[in-house]
Structure 1
Amino acid sequence: MPAPPSLPELQRAFARALQGGEAPALHAWIAARGIDPAARLRIYRHAGYAIHVEVLATAFPALRRLLGEDSFDGLATRHAARHGNCSGNLQDYGADFADFIAAQAETAAWPWLDAVARLEWLRQQAVLAADEAPADAGALLAALANAQGTLRLRPSVRVLRSDWAVLDLWRHALLPDVATPEPAVPQAVLLWREHAQVAMRAIAPAQAAFAEALCRRAPLADALAEAQAVDAATPPEALLQPLLEHALFAA
């Protein structure tokens, strides 16, 4: 019998086997105990797939409803087999799922599905973001007076600009009385965490451009310029309105 592999070699071979790769060199070091080593690896592999599918089902409930459970579970299993989780934290798993959905031939007839997935991943980010107190009025007024300064948003704030009616599609999927929307209507969405829940509202494109720039820590003047490039008629106070209304500026 050859020399036993090192622990790192065993771990890498086991990881490859869980991802669907063949690992015949590993079989000699697996105690059969009535089960063929290859079959024992398949048990672990299928259990791993099931865990990853459940994680995706939790993170993307609207997408699962829109696709149907069987179709969603099939796509999620395929994603788990091809990509798996590159992080030790399952809460990170699914960051690339929207891109995966967009690339699948069977979803081509519904090009808005990946937009719903992107919205749901932003919801995941918002719910897991750090907490931070809102800015008080005095500090906020001082920051607004400095065009080259930055206005920080609270960590849970996220923005999505989409070519599709993504918020209406999400609501239609999960809320019982929401009528089927016309998908091909562009929509921008502001997301944040409020009382341990994710809140969302549709906002104007210029408001979304302004909030996106602030999320990137752009100076106030640059954020205003980006918003005006989208819609020069939107006044600065309208750009600030949804962020002030929900106390989304950070202290």
Structure 2
Amino acid sequence: MSSSPLERLQRRFVRSVTFAADADLIAAVTGGGRLSAAEAIGVYRDAYPARLTEALGETYEACWRVLGDEEFFAAARDFIARAPSRSYNMSDYGEGFPEFLESRPHAEDAPFIGDLARLEWAFLRLFHTRAHEGLEPAALAAAAGSESILRLGAACVLLSLKHSVYGIWKRDRADDTPLEPTEWDGAQRLVLYKRGTNQIFARELSVPEHAALTALAQGRPLGAALDTAGLDEDGARELFAFAADARLIVAVVGG
């Protein structure tokens, strides 16, 4: 099916704003006030990277604080040049920014920056995810058996990071004390989740706890997930109690 004249005009406008000005578009539009058509389109071209930079700054606020204005804006400029937005929603922009930050020279001074960005991106995605209705603890306990498959809700994100960044992310904005290597030293595993409301909670996980929840998220039966993770009886009981209280589980299948 051929596109309509309006659709063709819209595509030319997008190309002119995100890449190079389209001569056919300039010929087809009229500038406003004293602006020529080319100058009017130029206003949008200038505003486009500024808006994407603003979107990155809103999503990766902690990374911005760590890097400072000069380095963050330079990184944003280079990223925008390589990765134009593919969505009408600005909050969708920046998925590849963590890996991009990790590849830049500043990563030698802030080796945790990629993981900090991953945490911020996960938080944003979860923020825009509707809170699920998890099973009540009593209902979960009554239904779950060793062969049961426990379905985790959509408003639950598991993270495995090479650096400890949760404390950096939570740091007070007014705290400009230089970060010490001990603050990011060591791997970190987290679960971010919503519990009935839009408030986001976080819990740091041990290696076995993260392995068990990951196995459950992959569809492994409860008993196999706990055995694979190497959790002892007390550890399994504690993790199950947390998952129940946090309403992480939305359904129990079989068992």
TM-score range, shorter chain: 0.7 to 0.9
Task: Count residues with an aligned counterpart.
Answer: 244
Would the alpha carbon gap of residues 177 and 32 (structure 1) be closer, same or farther in structure 2, given more than 3 Å must change?
A: closer
| Alignment partners' CA distance in 1, 2:176 and 2:21 | 49
After TM superposition, give the deviation of residue 158 of structure 1 in Å: 0.9
CA gap 1:216/1:53 in 2 versus in 1, 3 angstroms = farther
- Structure 2 equivalent of residue 18 of structure 1: 17
1:1-251 equivalent positions in 2, closer than 5 A:
6-33=5-32, 34-147=34-147, 149-172=148-171, 174=173, 176=175, 180=179, 182=182, 183-194=184-195, 195-228=197-230, 235-250=235-250
Task: Confirm or deny: 8 A CA contact 1:20 1:81 kept in the other structure.
Answer: no
Give ranges in structure 2 of 5+ residues lacking alignment: none
What code does the residue aligned with 1:210 have? A
TM-score of the two chains, using structure 1 as the length reference: 0.82
Counterpart AA for 2:161: S
Measure, in 2, the Cα distance between the counterparts of 1:237 and 1:227: 13
Amino acid in structure 2 at the alignment position of 1:74: A
Letter in 2 for 1:19: T
Q: Which moved more, 1:20-29 or 1:196-205?
A: 20-29
| Displacement after TM superposition at 1:179 (Å) | 8.4
Provide the secondary structure at the position in 1 that maps to 2:76.
Answer: helix
| Identity between Structure 1 and Structure 2 (%) | 25
Cα 1:51–1:247, aligned 2, differ >3 Å: closer, same or farther? Answer: same
RMSD of Structure 2 on Structure 1 (CA): 2.9
Contact 1:172–1:180 (CA under 8 A) maintained in structure 2: no
Give 1:153 shift: 2.3
Deviation at 1:137, TM superposition (A): 3.2
* Offset from partner CA, 1:56-83 (integer Å, 9 cap, x none): 2222211111111332233223333332
Q: Which runs of 5+ in 1 are unaligned?
A: none
TM-score where L is the length of structure 2 = 0.81
Question: 1:177 offset after TM fit, Å?
Answer: 9.5
Cα distance, 1:85 vs structure 2: 2.1
Tell me if structure 1 keeps the 8 A contact 2:152–2:250.
Answer: yes
How many angstroms does 1:178 deviate by? Answer: 8.8
**Judging changes above 3 Å, is the alpha-carbon distance between structure 1 residues 137 and 201 closer, same or farther for their aligned structure 2 residues?**
closer
Q: Distance in 1 between matches of 2:125 and 2:199?
A: 12
Does structure 2 retain, via aligned residues, the 8 Å contact 1:63–1:116? yes
CA shift in 2, pair 1:102/1:199, >3 Å: same
Give the counterpart letter for 1:68 in structure 2.
G
- Higher RCO (CA < 8 A, seq sep 6+): 2
The 3-state SS of whatever aligns with 1:208 is: helix
Letter in 1 for 2:118: R
Write out per-residue CA displacement over residues 135-186 of structure 1, whole angstroms, 9 at most, x where no aligned residue: 1234312443142x32122321111111101212212364749984522311
Closer, same or farther: CA 105–19 of 1 in aligned 2, 3 Å: farther
Cα–Cα, structure 1 residues 42 and 93, in superposed 2: closer, same or farther, change >3 Å?
same
What is the CA-CA distance between 1:116 and the residue it aligns to? 0.4
The alpha-carbon distance between structure 1 residues 29 and 189, as it changes in their structure 2 partners (threshold 3 A), is: same
Q: How far did residue 121 of structure 1 move?
A: 1.0
2:135 and 2:244 in contact (8 A); partners too:
no
- Give distance in 1, aligned partners of 2:174 and 2:238: 29
Q: Which moved more, 1:124-133 or 1:35-44?
A: 35-44
